[in-house]
Amino acid sequence: MAKPIAVYNDVHKSFGDVEVLKGIDLEIAPAEKVALIGPSGSGKTTIIRMLMTLEQPTSGTIVVDGQYLWHMEKNGELVPANEKHLRQVRGDIGMVFQHFNLFPHMSILENCMVAPINVKGVPKKEARERSVEMLEKVGLGDKLDDYPSQLSGGQKQRVAMARALVMRPKIMLFDEVTSALDPELVGEVLEVIRDIAKEGEMAMVLVTHEMDFARDIADRVVFLDEGRIAEQGTPEQVLENSESERLNSFLSRFRS
Amino acid sequence: MTWNWNYVVESLPAIFQGMWITLGLTIACYLFAMLFGFVWTFVRRIPWRPLQMVVAFIMEFIRSTPPLVQLFFLYYAWPMVPYVGLTLDPITVAIIGLGVHFSTYIAEIYRSGIESIDKGQWEAATALNLSLKDKWTKIILPQAIPPTIPMLGNYLIIMFKEVPLTSTIGVAGMLHMANNFGSKNFAYLEPLTLVALFFLVMSYPTAVLFRKLEQKMNRRFDKSNPTGKIDKGVVT
Amino acid sequence: MKGINITITVLIASAILSYLVAFIAGFGRLSNNIFIRKFTGFYVEVFRGTSLIVQLFWFYYALPGLFDIHLASDFWAAVIAIAMNYGAYMSEIVRGSILSVAKGQREAATALNMSRFQRMRLVILPQAVRMMLPEFGNYLIQMLKATSLVSLVGLTDILYHGDIFRSTHLSLAPTVYILILVFYFILALPLIWLTRWAEKQSSKGVASE
């Protein structure tokens, strides 16, 4: 395995008195596609939200591309990261949300252009070209000047993906990106993710309930149960040939 | 001239006396506004377009012109109006003037309360063949009134803070007493500060009370926000 | 009619100043610094808890006595009193609107690696301002009504001139006051329309909780 792009080291997370994650150790290789599955409340979403710096770990460390994410080294000691440090490391990571979170006051094109221009200082013209290219890739090249409220859920989610891709992250996080969609719109979104996955160079972590989809694109499937990693391995190992009772009873709910 | 405690002691009795007038007048104006608010609300429900439009115009006119001018009109000009003109004492002018002005706001609150009732409630009441009276008293009003209580409470506080306007037509409330004392002794600082303190001490706790009540109401009526708390967090 | 220009000047000056105060105090109440938060909270409660007319008199009669501060002129005493009062009320609107922009918006901006300042400037404020506008419009109408108080501290606005005229032509009192009321209403009309328009606009382009 090549040098990992992200490493979780004994990461715990509590919300108040409730311990949601009870010691997570996880390594993600560059370009690896990891699917996180598990019952609701098992902590899948929290894992990727910590990597996006939306939640702070209670204890443990996360390293991204050789750099501590939530900590920085000062006189040989680890101290909590400041905003400047977070911003520096966070640049490698992108995220697509369950509820899209598009900016309603901007057109679709502006949604994609705002971050490259303001965060990365990309010239306006180039930001526009890159955004148009990405929007065409997700099949929305004809909607550039529409506003989010004019789009269907599936279209919104494709814009959200283009918006994240324009920033060229090394890791992309997908937080149950199809679970807020009407069933007939799920397909178009999964199709786009599949295309992105095929291109290869970017690592992807997907929290998902679409088991067939996970089997299709993931290099590794991680099963979370009660705040711990209970099983992991190739899709065949985890989804078809597991001995674990908990895992099988979880999976049986997805078989028809 | 600096702060002089003697003036505080000397002006206190007069201001205290004025406080009762201010408080009493607040309640009187408020009750009048609540009652008159009903009048607007029900007149507006009469299904005759021209009447609705005229009433809406009058309400808008009263609402968007200064209550001070309305008080002056009632006090100085009403007696000169031919036929219906009538000299009124300052207290009556205050009650009618401020009462009518704020009744237009209170009527809006009543209306929002009534309109917040789901159409299904009316239909269900009709389906149960309730009389018009029962529809209102048993189904609509019991649901429409509670959510409006915090808003109505806020207007009690607003009324309290508007009542000192009436000192301009000679009602001897707190502000009036303070100004009298000031012009007699050339000392405005102490009595005016006292009046401000009195206002703060009375309106702040009341406002906190109604804010609490509002949170409680939200909890009861808005299921999407089960704690009923407004996020007081820091924006990051 | 005399005094119209004073009424309008006072309105414009207090409106601009009060919006400024509202934003400063609104942000102050959301500050990370506890002293700034407590201090602005205190200011807001004091000015909301006392009456505008009392504040006006206090600025006019009492303040010069206390610190030997003379607020340059009657005009500025009046404008500052109105602006401090309405600024306190509107700071709550500023604060509330900023807090009611959906949490996901802030998270999406973070995921795009925006700085605190960029999140506020590019994502939160443009949406929050839309929510503020109708309330700002309502308060503008309230401020217009409040300008009538300045005649009580000697500013020669429309009401002041009306009162003078009335005292020499007693029988014309009804006409005088009705004209003044109509004048205020005509000034208020565009503000009413503006507020209604803002209400229609405000829900567009906003993700709120």
Q: Is residue A70 part of a domain?
A: yes
Closest CA to A36 of A205, A212, A179: A205
**Residue B226 confidence class, pLDDT cut points 50, 70, 90:** very low
Hey, which chains touch C, using 3+ CB pairs under 8 Å? A, B
Phi/psi of residue A223, nearest 5 degrees: -100, 120
Q: What angle do CA B133, B139, B141 make, to 5 degrees?
A: 80
pLDDT over 90, % of chain B? 39
C205 touches chain B (CB under 8 A): no
Instruction: List, for residues B195-213, the tens digit of each pLDDT value.
Output: 999 999 999 988 888 888 8
Between CA B112 and CA A19 the distance in angstroms is 44
Instruction: List, for residues A65-104, the tens digit of each pLDDT value.
Output: 989 999 988 888 888 988 889 998 999 999 999 999 999 9
**Three-class SS of residue A7?**
strand
Q: Is residue A132 part of a domain?
A: no
Cβ-based burial of C64 (10 A; exposed 0-12, middle 13-18, buried ≥19): middle
The dihedral sign for the CA sequence C80, B21, C152, C178: positive
Between CA A224 and CA B61 the distance in angstroms is 65
**Residue B58 confidence class, pLDDT cut points 50, 70, 90:** very high
pLDDT exceeds cutoff 70 at B222: no
Q: Given this model, what pLDDT does residue B220 score?
A: 67
Contact call for B188 and C149, based on CB within 8 A? no
Contact call for C181 and B68, based on CB within 8 A? no
Shortest alpha-carbon distance between residue C137 and chain B (Å): 12
* Structural domains counted in chain A: 1
Nearest-by-Cβ selection for B73 from C50, C96, C181: C181
C145 touches chain B (CB under 8 A): yes
Average pLDDT over residues C139-165: 90
Shortest alpha-carbon distance between residue C71 and chain B (Å): 15
Contact call for A118 and C118, based on CB within 8 A? yes
Between CA A118 and CA A105 the distance in angstroms is 17
Q: Given this model, what pLDDT does residue A33 score?
A: 95
Closest CA to A204 of A160, A159, A173, A233: A173
Looking at domain B5-221, its CATH architecture is Orthogonal Bundle (1.10)
Contacts of B3 in chain C (CB under 8 A): 66
Q: Is residue A113 part of a domain?
A: no
Q: Given this model, what pLDDT does residue C114 score?
A: 94
pLDDT exceeds cutoff 90 at B50: yes
- To which H or E segment does residue A23 belong? strand A18-28
Average pLDDT over residues C158-177: 87
Instruction: List, for residues B67-119, the tens digit of each pLDDT value.
Output: 999 999 999 988 888 787 788 899 999 999 999 999 999 999 999 999 888 88
Q: Given this model, what pLDDT does residue A224 score?
A: 93
Contacts of C62 in chain B (CB under 8 A): 188-189, 192-193
Report the Cα C30 to chain-centroid distance in Å: 20
C186 touches chain B (CB under 8 A): no
Give the residue from B22, B68, B93 with the most C CB atoms within 10 Å of its CB, the best one to mutate.
Answer: B68
Shortest alpha-carbon distance between residue B180 and chain C (Å): 13
Q: Which range among A189-198, C9-18, C164-173 shows the weakest confidence by mean pLDDT?
A: C164-173
Domains of chain C in start order, with CATH, are 4-202 (1.10.3720.10)
Contacts of C112 in chain A (CB under 8 A): 94, 114-115, 119, 163-164, 167
Nearest-by-Cβ selection for C113 from A97, A115, A163: A115
Give the residue from C97, C105, C107, C113 with the most A CB atoms within 10 Å of its CB, the best one to mutate.
Answer: C113
Q: Tally B–C CB contacts below 8 A.
A: 134
Q: Given this model, what pLDDT does residue B1 score?
A: 55
Q: What is the DSSP letter of C208?
A: B
Give the DSSP letter string of C91-146. HHHHHHHHHHB-HHHHHHHHHTT--HHHIIIIIIHHHHHHHHHHHHHHHHHHHHHH
ipTM for the complex shown = 0.87
Q: Given this model, what pLDDT does residue C185 score?
A: 95
Q: Is residue A189 part of a domain?
A: yes
Contacts of C168 in chain B (CB under 8 A): none
For residue A87, give the CATH number of its domain: 3.40.50.300
Q: Which two tokens stand for residue B63?
A: 């609402």
Cβ-based burial of B233 (10 A; exposed 0-12, middle 13-18, buried ≥19): exposed
Which positions ≥6 away from B160 have C-beta within 8 Å?
B22, B23, B26, B199, B202, B203, C51
Q: Which two tokens stand for residue B199?
A: 């206002």
Contact call for C181 and B77, based on CB within 8 A? no
Give the residue from B2, B22, B64, B203 with the most C CB atoms within 10 Å of its CB, the best one to mutate.
Answer: B64
Average pLDDT over residues C150-164: 87
Phi/psi of residue B208, nearest 5 degrees: -60, -40
pLDDT over 70, % of chain C? 95
Instruction: List, for residues C14-62, the tens digit of each pLDDT value.
Output: 999 999 999 999 999 999 899 999 999 999 999 999 999 999 988 888 8
**Hey, where are the domains in chain B?**
5-221
Residue type, C4: I
Q: Which two tokens stand for residue B23?
A: 């408080």
Residue of A nearest to C108 (CA): A101
Interface of B with C in 158-177 (CB under 8 A): 160-165, 167-168, 175
pLDDT exceeds cutoff 50 at B234: no
Rg (CA), chain B: 22
Residue predicted with more confidence, A21 or B222: A21
Q: Is residue A102 part of a domain?
A: no
Phi/psi of residue A68, nearest 5 degrees: -65, 140
Q: Given this model, what pLDDT does residue B223 score?
A: 41
Which residues of chain A carry a pLDDT beneath 70?
A: 1, 256
pLDDT over 70, % of chain B? 92
Shortest alpha-carbon distance between residue C87 and chain B (Å): 16
Residue predicted with more confidence, B215 or C99: C99
Residue of B nearest to C115 (CA): B236
pLDDT exceeds cutoff 90 at B221: no
Interface of A with C in 96-135 (CB under 8 A): 97, 99, 101-105, 114-115, 118-119
B57 touches chain C (CB under 8 A): no
CA dihedral of B146, B149, B151, B155, whole degrees rounded to 10? 150
Q: Given this model, what pLDDT does residue A6 score?
A: 95
Contact call for A104 and C108, based on CB within 8 A? no
Domain, as residue range, for A247: 6-92+169-252
Interface of B with C in 8-37 (CB under 8 A): none
Q: Is residue A141 part of a domain?
A: no
Nearest-by-Cβ selection for A104 from C114, C122, C127: C127
